[in-house]
Chain A
């Protein structure tokens, strides 16, 4: 009898062992023998494994473990990667001719110096001598021409960055790269933060090579992402030698990781989450640098009527949302711009529509909706802050007789239906600018912009934008951008809510966390206290 039970268990054990063994051999990179042969004995070990206590978590002087909720699940080619989470990490691996500073300025990186002609049409970059790629090669002008040309569509293909089609000619000689524009474009240096990568290297998708302070080591899907200090970096080398990003799509898992000592740093947390952490952590507060708003489909009834949009703006209490759903963390916004871009940000627009339900009702009445109306708010369900915001908004709208139904959708559905096909009434999301230009935030409201998912259509706005883009005078351009922001507020293009707070849990002893006006995590600046 016992023998039969044993046999049954063994059959199962061997089947499993066999399958596991196959898994090992076929992947090629792993040793298979151990797992296949020990299949049926391991169970006893497993049972005993629970008993011995493990030594206390070691202090990693030269290592850091960072928890992230978003896997780097796309091409790692810096020109093709699109997810904010990927760019956040790869900021440490790649650099452009120029790079951003925490203050929001641009400084030369792979280039050592840039001169601009008086007409603003010719830029001459001098390459820094001895900038090395992670594969050991020295950066030369061919690599620069290749990297920029790929994005500007130099070979006649569709440019990866449409704005760069303004480049009419590029020449490289010695250590100089000359870029000629067909018309002046003041943001060109922002766009030239694009990563410089080696020409003729075809594994950028999976084994990226750049010039940044960290080099890529490995990626294990849904598990971890490892970087290592690049010792031949041209600038100040990073302090911490090995960086491991651990992926857990559940923030609860990341919190347990912090508590257990597995993780040293987790960004993008909420106040409720950071409250669960003990004394081992400092909580640093930055901002997400995005415009969270109730984005309205301006083509869809009743939001094609400016009075209805304004009524909504009066009815929704931004500070109320921040207090209720975000424990008071967050900066209320009144237009498509956030405070980090101090040059363009106009604080006076924030309270353009003070919370006033009487006024909101009046406007609704004027617009022909004395009893309110029904509407839907489509929210990406994977993003809890937006879902929470939607719930508060629905409550607030009920006060003026507007019945809002929240429709949670998967991110993929949101992208295809809301963002792609523009089949929605209203939605909550956060829009950002990944190259520190006002243009990126404002250009999407041009009537015929391909990413104008709110269908905002106003000739006056289009005209302002055209003028701003054509302007070569920085002061004049800034004024025009500010006028555009004011225009968006006055016409209540969307109901602007806030720039969300970015709370970062940092283990005590870890110093140097720096916030940028970008969605990035600068690991090179981090170091352990002595």
Chain B
């Protein structure tokens, strides 16, 4: 209970802080929303009218607090550019991005954890060299490149999906999922490589510990010890790492969304920043902050389930 309260407080503080910083950043950088909206058609009179309409003539702090009170009463405001309620605009984007991240996360989990453990057996073999080299390659290749490659092979040559036309998630769920699957693959490749390396080194470190030696000297076979004891102990750092990965994926999704033409949060954030569409940027930034905190919290909870000792440490 105490833990939950602490977490919720942390979440609130993070969101408020982040939203304030985002607001402040716009105050500092050049570019005026009214000017950006009117473009080369701007006349002093029209600029003035638009500024008034958007409430930009009010001082910074007043604008921030009116945004904040709106936020807490569940009103994210209206987009400067699209003239539509912010939530109506970003809800489908949130959905798309979450699906990409979710599929990508699942891929990371189901591929890298078993492979990480399995690759332990490869120590001191020539194979290990190739494994390391391949792993390095996967980590080094930028997602936009794999993205172009994947969309060419699977989209243009094999026609598994159609680059350039993203199906509506609610009308053609399978089609949209197919589209997002390749984006998720591209997003997860470097992270799978990282997680494998992480998993492997943790397992190796764990296998050298005294309790393993004891277990083996008592006659247990290596595989049994690996699965029965080592795996559980190796998972804690990996879960923490996966929590961070979850938070990072959403950042990486910006690039794959552009390459695969998926209308997601990342692309929308970039466009809204260059349009100076504050209400949209604020909303997305807060969602991302929420996401990062939640990912950390879930990782904590899972770790506590795996290793109850952490729970004692946590409530000290």
- B30 touches which of A24, A252, A417 (Cβ 8 Å): A417
Contact A249 B98 (CB under 8 A): no
How far apart sit A260 and B150, CA to CA, in the bound complex (Å)? Answer: 13
How far apart sit A258 and B151, CA to CA, in the bound complex (Å)? Answer: 13
Q: A35 within 8 Å of B by Cβ?
A: yes
Contact B275 A412 (CB under 8 A): yes
Total B residues in contact with A, Cβ cutoff 8 Å: 90
- B181 touches which of A46, A83, A413 (Cβ 8 Å): A46
Q: A263 within 8 Å of B by Cβ?
A: yes
Contact A263 B164 (CB under 8 A): yes
- B261 touches which of A27, A220, A253 (Cβ 8 Å): A253
Q: B109 within 8 Å of A by Cβ?
A: yes
List A242-300 residues whose CB lies under 8 Å from chain B.
246-250, 252-254, 256-263
Give per-residue flags for B281-303: 1 if the beta carbon is below 8 A from chain A beta carbons, else 0: 00000000000001000100110
Give per-residue flags for B232-275: 1 if the beta carbon is below 8 A from chain A beta carbons, else 0: 10010001000000100000000000111101000110010011
- B263 touches which of A162, A221, A263 (Cβ 8 Å): A221
- A53 touches which of B46, B159, B174 (Cβ 8 Å): B159
- A258 touches which of B81, B164, B231 (Cβ 8 Å): B164
B95 neighbours in A (Cβ, 8 Å): 20, 23-24, 35
Name the residue in A73, A219, A247, A413 with the highest tally of chain B Cβ atoms < 10 Å from its Cβ: A73
How far apart sit A223 and B84, CA to CA, in the bound complex (Å)? Answer: 15
- In angstroms, how far is the closest chain A Cβ from the Cβ of B286? 13
| Stretch from B36-44, B124-132, B199-207 forming part of the interface with A | B36-44
| Stretch from B10-18, B63-71, B100-108, B217-225 forming part of the interface with A | B100-108
A419 neighbours in B (Cβ, 8 Å): 35, 40, 42
- In angstroms, how far is the closest chain B Cβ from the Cβ of A272? 16
List A448-506 residues whose CB lies under 8 Å from chain B.
450-451
Q: A65 within 8 Å of B by Cβ?
A: yes
Contact A53 B158 (CB under 8 A): yes
How far apart sit A248 and B164, CA to CA, in the bound complex (Å)? Answer: 8
- In angstroms, how far is the closest chain A Cβ from the Cβ of B164? 2
| A46-B181, A256-B156 as given contacts; A222 in contact with B263, CB under 8 Å | yes
Contact A46 B103 (CB under 8 A): yes
Q: Nearest CB to that of B239 among chain A residues?
A: A8
Q: Nearest CB to that of B159 among chain A residues?
A: A54
Q: B316 within 8 Å of A by Cβ?
A: no
| Stretch from B85-93, B133-141, B208-216 forming part of the interface with A | B85-93
How far apart sit A324 and B39, CA to CA, in the bound complex (Å)? Answer: 30
List B160-184 residues whose CB lies under 8 Å from chain A.
160-166, 169-170, 173-174, 177-178, 180-182, 184
B294 neighbours in A (Cβ, 8 Å): 15
A219 neighbours in B (Cβ, 8 Å): 82
Contact A73 B178 (CB under 8 A): no
Contact A158 B46 (CB under 8 A): yes
How far apart sit A34 and B171, CA to CA, in the bound complex (Å)? Answer: 12
Q: Nearest CB to that of A34 among chain B residues?
A: B173
Contact B98 A73 (CB under 8 A): no
Q: Nearest CB to that of B151 among chain A residues?
A: A256
B246 neighbours in A (Cβ, 8 Å): 12
Q: B94 within 8 Å of A by Cβ?
A: yes
| A12-B105, A26-B87, A27-B88 as given contacts; A74 in contact with B81, CB under 8 Å | yes
- In angstroms, how far is the closest chain B Cβ from the Cβ of A381? 10
Contact A263 B165 (CB under 8 A): yes
Q: A370 within 8 Å of B by Cβ?
A: no
- In angstroms, how far is the closest chain B Cβ from the Cβ of A195? 15
- B274 touches which of A15, A31, A382 (Cβ 8 Å): A382
How far apart sit A105 and B130, CA to CA, in the bound complex (Å)? Answer: 70
B239 neighbours in A (Cβ, 8 Å): 8
- In angstroms, how far is the closest chain B Cβ from the Cβ of A18? 10
- In angstroms, how far is the closest chain A Cβ from the Cβ of B257? 9
Q: B152 within 8 Å of A by Cβ?
A: yes
Contact A23 B173 (CB under 8 A): no
| A11-B302, A206-B84, A250-B258 as given contacts; A54 in contact with B160, CB under 8 Å | yes
- B163 touches which of A65, A75, A253 (Cβ 8 Å): A253
Q: Nearest CB to that of B158 among chain A residues?
A: A53
- In angstroms, how far is the closest chain B Cβ from the Cβ of A291? 13
Contact B163 A262 (CB under 8 A): yes
Contact B84 A416 (CB under 8 A): no
List A29-57 residues whose CB lies under 8 Å from chain B.
29-31, 34-35, 39, 42-43, 45-47, 49-50, 53-54, 56-57
- In angstroms, how far is the closest chain A Cβ from the Cβ of B272? 9
Name the residue in A47, A53, A248, A413 with the highest tally of chain B Cβ atoms < 10 Å from its Cβ: A248
A248 neighbours in B (Cβ, 8 Å): 164, 258, 261
- B162 touches which of A67, A221, A252, A260 (Cβ 8 Å): A260
Contact A31 B35 (CB under 8 A): no
Closest 6 CB pairs of A and B: A257-B164, A412-B31, A262-B164, A262-B165, A223-B263, A27-B91
30 pairs, CB–CB < 8 Å, chain A vs chain B = A9-B106, A27-B88, A27-B92, A42-B177, A43-B103, A49-B177, A50-B182, A67-B164, A73-B277, A160-B46, A221-B93, A221-B263, A246-B165, A247-B263, A248-B164, A249-B267, A253-B261, A256-B163, A257-B164, A258-B164, A260-B156, A262-B163, A262-B165, A409-B30, A412-B30, A412-B36, A412-B275, A415-B36, A416-B36, A450-B44
